[in-house]
Structure 1
Amino acid sequence: MSSLNFARNVFAKLILPVKCNLRLLDKAIGSRCMSIGNYEYIIAEKKGEKNNVGLIKLNRPRALNALCDGLMKDLKNALDAFEADKDVGCIVLTGSEKAFAAGADIKEMSQKEFSEVYGGNFLSHWNSLTQCKKPVIAAVNGYALGGGCELAMMCDIIYAGDKAQFGQPEITLGTIPGAGGTQRLCKAVGKSRAMEMILTGDRMSAQEAQTSGLVSKVFPVNQLVDEAIKSAEKISGFSKLTIAMCKEAVNTAYELSLQEGLHFEKRIFHATFATKDRKEGMTAFLEKRQPNFTDS
């Protein structure tokens, strides 16, 4: 056992209470992690060797991370904070090993009336995740159902633990998906598979999700978040300016025809030639050295 791990064990057993928050333990013994903000329903911290990855953990364990209004507001505020942080290049969104998010908060929604949800454009503020310029990786363990599945699909990349389950069971509640489920799931897995899931409420395993293209990679449950952070660190090492441009180009592919998309891509490609990072990247390649990107 390394001296660092030994210090963790001694500190955890002799000084901290059994239920001590792991974030405080990491901070106390000098781990490379930094808590950000004070939230009720999430935990936000910076991760990675260079503290350049934003980690957001949904934290309503008794409700299986049901997506109540307060949680979604916390999520938006944390995303805004990481967007404004010049050191952070990529964000990882996760839940617990039991549930990424088991759905929207049914108790909160059950008494709402048509005039209230229609007039107030209910759930519109959930789109804040899709407006984030920095890439977001969803690390999904356990249940990702209803709003939880929709939240994962709003992210740019989805990694899953090998016990994860995806589904849109709104039909069993007498309603339909309302945060993108009928739209994004079709684009991810095709019409027939999406229609089957949405009309039956049946779930999809992590392995099925990977085969169908909904999920990029599947990892053992206890390795999932670390692997997502590892990928996020790699992304964060590139030019943040170019990463944002690349993300915009890929997302635009879903909105335009092929010819329109190719034209848009070419213009974004041309635009990179106005950046210092493009010049540095190509110069470093020719000089056989690592580039020093300045996000400019």
Structure 2
Amino acid sequence: MGFVKYEVQDAVGIITIDREKALNALNSEVLDDLNAAFDNVDLDTVRCLILTGAGDKSFVAGADIGEMSTLTKAEGEAFGKKGNDLFLKIESFPIPVIAAVNGFALGGGCEIAMSCDFRICSENAMFGQPEVGLGITPGFGGTQRLARLVGMGMAKQMIYTARNIKSDEALRIGLVNQVVSSEELLPTAKKIASTIAMQAPIAVRACKKAINDGYQTDINSGAAIEEKLFGSCFETEDQREGMGNFLKKKDDPTKVKHVAFQNK
């Protein structure tokens, strides 16, 4: 994984796209390295992931234009599938993935950030889908996820005009969850990830699956998905410990302590 670094701190994994001289642009090798990094995550010990880019100038500046400039129609479609397959893997990854967006998140950078569960960004972050200015469409899910996140009208305006937006507007339209200083970006993401990692891992995974799967269906089908995943949590050690701990302390709710949940 020459262009991707992976480290684990307690139960939180940090995946860093490390192609700083090219502003962390996504070429085929970077996509392969990212795919390998996600495949190598130990789901028995890691409960939440953070995805970020090396340096403070760019999260991911986009897909590598040098590589794309000579592609044929068939090669372009294959390159789009390569990115889409990876981003769908990230979106459906069993544990939560937080994007810590530092600087540019353009084209493929915006698309990979949107494939994460949610986004925390630095004040100098910049988002956009500038592909029409290059004579192409977004190819790694931008036409699909942006509309789902910010609404069809706003997504069409951003994509049709190739306009980039700053962090404050990204927050206003719901593209990101929180804006912090560059210095506080990783500490903030780590704090949120650690809080997630403290929760019952089986329940967190079930919640992610229920939200993702249910969002693509009508409310009745979504409720049925939730019912099954709700039921799947029962008879687990996490459920017994969590509820047992609560009941022991029910006479004094201020003394309810968090359970050190295990992957069971």
Question: Normalising by the residue count of structure 1, what TM-score does the alignment of the two structures yield?
Answer: 0.82
Aligned AA (2:260): N
Partner of 2:139: 178
- CA distance in 1 between counterparts of 2:203 and 2:22 reads 39
Partner of 1:290: 258
Partner secondary structure for residue 214 of structure 1: coil
Q: Which moved more, 1:126-135 or 1:93-102?
A: 126-135
Match of 2:13 among 31, 49, 54: 54
In the TM superposition, what is the alpha-carbon distance from 1:119 to its structure 2 partner?
Answer: 6.1
The percentage of counterpart residues that share the same residue type is 39
- CA distance in 2 between counterparts of 1:119 and 1:94 reads 25
- CA distance in 2 between counterparts of 1:206 and 1:155 reads 17
Partner of 2:168: 207
The alignment status of 1:92 with 2:60, answered yes or no, reads no
Q: 1:122/1:292 Cα in 2 relative to 1: closer, same or farther (>3 Å)?
A: closer
Structure 1 residues 237-252: aligned runs within 5 Å: 237-252=198-213
In the TM superposition, what is the alpha-carbon distance from 1:42 to its structure 2 partner?
Answer: 1.5
Partner of 2:6: 44
In the TM superposition, what is the alpha-carbon distance from 1:286 to its structure 2 partner?
Answer: 1.4
Match of 1:123 among 70, 73, 83: 83
- Is the 8 Å Cα contact of residues 92 and 209 (structure 2) preserved in structure 1? no
Greater RCO (Cα-Cα under 8 Å, separation 6 or more): 2
State the Cα deviation string for residues 173-207 of structure 1 (Å, max 9, x = none).
00000111011000111111111100001011111
- CA distance in 1 between counterparts of 2:111 and 2:76 reads 18
- CA distance in 2 between counterparts of 1:268 and 1:222 reads 38
- CA distance in 2 between counterparts of 1:93 and 1:44 reads 10
Partner secondary structure for residue 137 of structure 1: strand
Partner secondary structure for residue 253 of structure 1: helix
Partner secondary structure for residue 241 of structure 1: helix
Partner of 2:104: 143
Partner of 2:93: 132
In the TM superposition, what is the alpha-carbon distance from 1:85 to its structure 2 partner?
Answer: 4.3
The alignment status of 1:161 with 2:122, answered yes or no, reads yes
- CA distance in 2 between counterparts of 1:173 and 1:162 reads 27
In the TM superposition, what is the alpha-carbon distance from 1:241 to its structure 2 partner?
Answer: 1.6
- Is the 8 Å Cα contact of residues 106 and 129 (structure 2) preserved in structure 1? yes
In the TM superposition, what is the alpha-carbon distance from 1:276 to its structure 2 partner?
Answer: 1.8
- CA distance in 2 between counterparts of 1:87 and 1:93 reads 17
Match of 1:232 among 193, 209, 223: 193
In the TM superposition, what is the alpha-carbon distance from 1:122 to its structure 2 partner?
Answer: 4.6
Over the aligned positions, Cα root-mean-square deviation in angstroms equals 1.5
- Is the 8 Å Cα contact of residues 206 and 229 (structure 2) preserved in structure 1? yes
Aligned AA (2:24): N
Partner secondary structure for residue 193 of structure 1: helix
- Is the 8 Å Cα contact of residues 139 and 159 (structure 1) preserved in structure 2? yes
Partner secondary structure for residue 54 of structure 1: strand
- Is the 8 Å Cα contact of residues 198 and 260 (structure 2) preserved in structure 1? no
The alignment status of 1:103 with 2:56, answered yes or no, reads no
In the TM superposition, what is the alpha-carbon distance from 1:43 to its structure 2 partner?
Answer: 1.5
- Is the 8 Å Cα contact of residues 44 and 263 (structure 2) preserved in structure 1? no
- CA distance in 1 between counterparts of 2:221 and 2:43 reads 33
In the TM superposition, what is the alpha-carbon distance from 1:292 to its structure 2 partner?
Answer: 3.2
- Is the 8 Å Cα contact of residues 285 and 291 (structure 1) preserved in structure 2? no
State the Cα deviation string for residues 48-107 of structure 1 (Å, max 9, x = none).
xxx21101111111110000111111111111222x242211000011310000000111
Structure 2: give runs of 5+ residues left out of the alignment. 250-256
**Structure with greater Cα Rg:** 1
